[in-house]
Structure 1
Amino acid sequence: MSVWKLVKLNFGKNPAHFGEVGIGMEETSDRVRSDSLFSAWVSVYARMFGKEAVEELLQLFPTEKKPEIIPPFHISSTFIYREIDKDRNTIYYLPRPLKFPINYPEDDLAFFKTYKKLNYLPLEIWQRWYQGKGFDQNSDTEELITHTKTGKSEGDLNTRGTFDYKEACKTHQLPKIGIDRVTTATNLYHTGFVHFASGNASDKNTAGLYFLVELSPEGEKLADKLQAALHLLGEEGLGGERSSGAGRFTAQWLNLPETWQEAVNFKDGKFQTLISLFWDSDISSNFLENSSYEIQERGGWIVESQIRRQMVRMFTEGSVFTSSLLGKLVNVTPKQFTKHQIYRSGISLALPIKTKE
């Protein structure tokens, strides 16, 4: 039987730079996806416990050559959380599934633009829409129409923080100077950073990132090592611009709160929605039938060299399928890199949901 954990990353006043494929240094994402988190975590694990230990760890994950293995742990991508008052009441945001919730109205023209902008939903709203009674055609419709017309509203959606996602963090660009090593010529460029709300005497709003971990019995044996590696990762920083002090965090490894336990143990869902990236080399057309999904290219640089990893296309968070697959690690080692093998995680983590027929 698997065990679920919730991990909160508190960046305090430290900025962070989270790059994405196709996004230049001038821009930054507000979160880290599951494949990047896995790579950073495993890299630190290797430095802490050695080459043999990390090779033994990677052998426990399914690959194209060993597709039948049950992985020791699954991780979600990171998502934003907000602590909104002195009692530390927390809003956890989840990606909105790419299917309409049950009871969603046929005529949504008056509020569809507002609905479509809700890329992330507070956990309580996410549960009500996709695991509970569904979309309320009276109160939800009225509130979304009001918010579309006025930019504000009063109701359950507003109270739960549905429209306040952007209050969790701010981004800014910092000018930097690059110096050519040969000619010493200088070049001005800008780098984007994200700052999560850290609270002050007048504003109790604090924010950070969180992710979920599902540990198998084999994974529970590794929990202490994984926590130690995560602690070191927090000291070194997550994302880019770490030499400038960006991305440093403190981690809390927590048991699932009751609301989360209800979400992960939901039994009546006919669909599965991803909360991680997902890749598999053996996906049939039957698996994609009645599904709603988006695909993103994933790439990046190898840390210890100036060589790019091979690109791979993955299903994104919020994609909805009629069943779930474990996913696999995909080998993205470029031909010119021979030091060791490079893997990107396509191991999936999904939650059960109901959707509109």
Structure 2
Amino acid sequence: MNLITWEFTGGPFHFGRRGLGQEVTAAWFSSDSLFSALISRLAAIEGAEAIDAFMEPFVNNSAPFILSSLFPRVGRLYFFPVPVARGKRELKENISYKDLKKVRFLSERLFMRVIKGEDLVDIYPKAVKMQNGILLADPDEARDVPSQVWKEDKRPHVTLDRLTQKSMLYFTGEIYFAQDCGFWTAADIREASYLPTLSYLLNEVGEAGIGADRSTGLGRCAVVRGKSIDLPEPKSDGLMVTLGRFLPKKEETHTFMKDGCAYKLETIGGWITSPQEMNQRRRIIRMVSEGAVLGSLPHPCGDLVDVRPVYDGKAGLDHPVWRNGQVLASAYVPAMKGG
């Protein structure tokens, strides 16, 4: 499976996660949020009719492309989500569960080793630990790269109480990348005619900013084409590891029943910013997080859902608000027990 990638450089960024305070920011940006950002920019530039035409193949289960989430990178060294592990591993000397739990991302070479059946426990001792153990890289990949890829800071803000008009201080978390560091995303292009449009919209999203607090200057970045990467396609009788958030269709729920599956769920909420209507809260949905190990499904798999609010049985907006749970995934071979 040959994938096209794009690299994002700039910032700072603020990526909020439901259930966490504004002082906390994530170090990645999920695929459904990235897709929504594309739609938002298209609506702002070309209007509602362009959205209807753009979304038609997605709605009809013939997605012209599938995006991964935005993951960290150091130059051309790309990091992938760690596949979720099931149960307790047999640990080796000088390795703790705390050490393994801290690891969130693997370099491309280590990721390929893990998805082909090697155990992270065997890889961990000789791997280069970056970002305080959040990132792991192969020693040959990690030459001349910084051990601290990003730093987090807090920006002060002041708001006024609506009743008393007293000022109140609060902080938002921000993530700053080191030089030549940032994010990357991949796309499985299934319809070549969509590639120019996708490239154009990704650049527009970079100009407008991604994540929260864009009105205060956060999130702006330069977007350029990256390298091509090749990942093994999921086999029909095997397992897959997801590279984005996943929302299965009802007929796809058997993916959770395959032996060896392991996954985490996220509750997704947030606000709708529409050029035609006042801001409103999206309906809350639950999605499977990146790095989930699931039973393989035919591509494209996953569902689209309209998350506009409903009041007294009626939609709160005149147009759909799409959340894209169609997922990009790679084949995965589980490590042998005790390996």
Structure 2 residue 149 is matched with structure 1 residue 172: no
Aligned-partner Cα distance in 1 for 2:211–2:101: 28
Q: Deviations over 1:125-183 (max 9, x none)?
A: 1112322x724987x47548x98xxx99xx98455449x99721111111111135675
Aligned-partner Cα distance in 1 for 2:118–2:71: 23
Q: Match for residue 318 of structure 1? A: 291
* Cα displacement (A) at 1:107: 4.5
Structural mapping, 1:112-151, within 5 Å? 112-113=96-97, 114-131=99-116, 134-135=118-119, 140=123, 143=126
* Cα displacement (A) at 1:192: 0.9
Contact 2:266–2:286 (Cα < 8 Å) also in 1:
yes
Structural mapping, 1:84-233, within 5 Å? 90-99=76-85, 106-108=90-92, 110-113=94-97, 114-131=99-116, 134-135=118-119, 140=123, 143=126, 157-161=138-142, 167-180=148-161, 184-198=165-179, 206-217=180-191, 220-233=192-205
After superposition, the Cα gap between the structure-2 partners of 1:283 and 1:117, relative to the gap in structure 1 and judged at 3 Å, is farther
Q: Match for residue 243 of structure 2? A: 275
Contact 1:308–1:334 (Cα < 8 Å) also in 2:
yes
Q: Match for residue 239 of structure 1? A: 211
Aligned-partner Cα distance in 2 for 1:286–1:118: 29
Aligned-partner Cα distance in 2 for 1:94–1:237: 23
* Cα displacement (A) at 1:221: 1.1
- The amino acid across from 2:82 in the alignment is R
**TM-score (norm. length: structure 2):** 0.83
* Cα displacement (A) at 1:324: 2.3
Structure 2 residue 334 is matched with structure 1 residue 349: no
71-80 vs 232-241, which deviates more? 232-241
After superposition, the Cα gap between the structure-2 partners of 1:182 and 1:227, relative to the gap in structure 1 and judged at 3 Å, is farther
Aligned-partner Cα distance in 2 for 1:156–1:92: 10
SS in 2 for 1:60: helix
SS in 2 for 1:125: helix
Contact 2:79–2:108 (Cα < 8 Å) also in 1:
yes
Q: Match for residue 271 of structure 2? A: 301
SS in 1 for 2:280: coil
Contact 1:274–1:317 (Cα < 8 Å) also in 2:
yes
* Cα displacement (A) at 1:23: 1.8
Aligned-partner Cα distance in 2 for 1:288–1:38: 25
* Cα displacement (A) at 1:301: 0.5
Aligned-partner Cα distance in 2 for 1:269–1:156: 30
RMSD between superposed Cα atoms in Å: 3.1
Q: Match for residue 332 of structure 1? A: 307
- The amino acid across from 1:332 in the alignment is V
SS in 1 for 2:184: strand
Aligned-partner Cα distance in 1 for 2:309–2:291: 30
Structure 2 residue 68 is matched with structure 1 residue 76: yes
SS in 2 for 1:187: strand
* Cα displacement (A) at 1:355: 1.2
- The amino acid across from 2:32 in the alignment is D
Contact 2:265–2:288 (Cα < 8 Å) also in 1:
yes
* Cα displacement (A) at 1:281: 3.2
Q: Match for residue 203 of structure 1? A: none
Q: Match for residue 24 of structure 2? A: 27
More strand by share: 2
SS in 2 for 1:167: coil
Contact 1:125–1:160 (Cα < 8 Å) also in 2:
no
SS in 1 for 2:319: coil
- The amino acid across from 1:321 in the alignment is L
**TM-score (norm. length: structure 1):** 0.79
Q: Match for residue 8 of structure 1? A: 7
